[in-house]
Amino acid sequence: MKDIKKILKTTNIIKASPNDTLSSALGKLASSHDAAFVFDSEDKFLGVINPYYTLIKSSAYDGSTKVAHALFHPPHINVKDSLARIVQLMNESKIHYLPVFDDENKFLGITSARRILAFMKNLDVAKLKIGQMPHTQKGTVITVKLDDPISKAQQYFKEYKTSKIVVVDKNDRLKGILSHYDLIPYIMAPGNKQRRGDRGEQIQFRQTPVKKYTKTLVLNLSEQNTVKDAIEQVLNKAIGSIILIDADSRPTGIVTTRDMLDLLRTDKKKKNVSITTKNLSKRHVVTFDDFTKYITEYIQRNETIFSASIVYEGEKNDRLFKITVHLTPFKGRPLVISREGKDFAKLLQEVKAVVRSG
């Protein structure tokens, strides 16, 4: 990345020693995506300690486990990696803090999701409306009621493979959010508490109402807000998710840090662009191919469009041409752009201009 310094952190990095206990290392962190960077006595980077891999994904460790036995080896960011590659590694590893190395494998510092979001808010993609985001969890909000037992939430965490559940009242209005990470202190405390081993205490914990562990400070926006609005809220309030609500304060979706970072990725599956022609003369093949290439590349870059089709219909004598482009968005009604005329090149340029204008 050309501007790696803009997302690189070299000071105040959370560090741990191989001989530290897991409890002491995790006690320095604030969420399931955080990481403590582990170095040996010679300041050689060994790996990270991350709540997701030590507590959520694995149950093999307890608070007294030495850090050396619970290390996770994260992806290494190279200073020349693209921003798209960096967010791909970050989201796939489920760690929002990754180490950065130079070409000689020398540790330079770390990069974080928050630093990338701060950089991202000034990019064009941040102008996108939340309702147009392809990866947002819209319409699939997982909720529990305030008086539901923790056991129900635990079941949902496992069943839906999610780390956050929205908490609502009896009228389905937003009341807060429950994070899997917030329950960890009652299983194995990151700080000075001990793992609960008594079966009676475990049963009592599972029967406790969700409201006891619910965070009532939540960020909420509507689908009409922009990605930049979401980023600014996340950065200012240090909360990783935003709840989308309707006019009655009922949750309609969740926008996570991962969703926003995904907008920068280029490794996603190519969008489908179908091309149909009728009576395309040989003398127009090259020009038409350039046109379809332009439209196809534009569709791949545009985060709001799911698929497209291009239809060309011409008269056999090349006296009249018709171009129709169908754009199917992730959300909303399809857009149909249709132009007819006698000047083939001019016709294509007109359609390009309409597509660009959105």
Rounded CA gap, 91 and 59, in Å? 22
Cα–Cα distance, 244 to 107 (Å, whole number): 39
Quick one: which of 268, 274, 253 has its CA closest to 302? Answer: 268
Q: Are 251 and 280 found together in one domain?
A: no
The per-residue pLDDT for 195 is: 44
Supply the pLDDT for residue 268: 61
Q: What is d(CA 83, CA 77) in angstroms, rounded to the nearest whole number?
A: 10
- pLDDT given at position 165: 92
Cβ neighbours around 163 below 10 Å, total:
21
Which stretches does DSSP call E strand in the chain?
A: 8-9, 15-16, 36-39, 45-49, 77-78, 97-101, 107-112, 137-138, 143-145, 164-168, 174-179, 219-221, 241-245, 251-256, 273-278, 305-314, 321-329, 335-341
**Tell me, what's the pLDDT at 136?**
52
Structural domain boundaries, residue 291:
273-357
Residue 146 is predicted with a pLDDT of 96
Within a domain: 148? yes
- pLDDT attached to residue 192: 35
Burial of 280 (0-12, 13-18, 19+ CB in 10 A): middle
* Whole-number pLDDT of residue 99: 97
Question: Can you read off the two tokens belonging to residue 147?
Answer: 């008086």
Q: Is residue 267 part of a domain?
A: no
Both 212 and 145 in one domain: the answer is yes
Q: What is the pLDDT of residue 191?
A: 38
pTM equals 0.67
pLDDT of residue 281: 87
Q: What pLDDT is attached to residue 140?
A: 61
Residues 131 and 251 in one domain: yes
The number of domains in the chain is 3
Residues 98 and 89: beta-carbon distance below 8 Å = yes
Q: How many CB atoms lie within 10 A of CB 127?
A: 10
Look at residue 295 and give its three-state secondary structure: helix
For residue 232, CA distances in Å to 5, 96, 100 come to 21, 17, 25
Q: What is the identity of the amino acid at 353? A: A
Statement to judge: residues 95 and 144 lie in one domain: no
Assess if residue 303 is contained within a domain.
Answer: yes
Distances (CA, A) of 170 to 83, 218, 293, 353: 43, 18, 53, 50
Query: What CATH number should be reported for the domain holding residue 349?
Result: 3.30.160.100
Q: Given this model, what pLDDT does residue 83 score?
A: 93
pLDDT in tens, the chain (358 residues): 777 889 999 999 999 999 999 989 988 887 778 899 999 999 999 999 988 788 767 667 878 899 999 999 999 999 999 999 999 999 888 899 999 999 999 999 999 999 999 999 999 889 988 877 765 554 467 899 999 999 999 888 877 767 789 999 999 999 999 988 778 766 554 333 444 445 566 678 889 999 999 999 899 998 889 999 999 999 998 888 899 898 899 998 888 898 899 889 876 656 778 888 888 888 888 889 889 888 888 887 776 788 889 999 998 888 899 999 999 887 778 899 999 999 999 999 999 989 877 6
Is the residue at 145 inside a domain? yes
Residue 120 lies in a domain: no
Residue 284, C-beta contacts closer than 8 angstroms, at least 6 positions apart? 314, 318, 344
CA atoms within 13 A on the CB side of 99: 23
Residue 245 sits in a domain whose CATH number is: 3.10.580.10
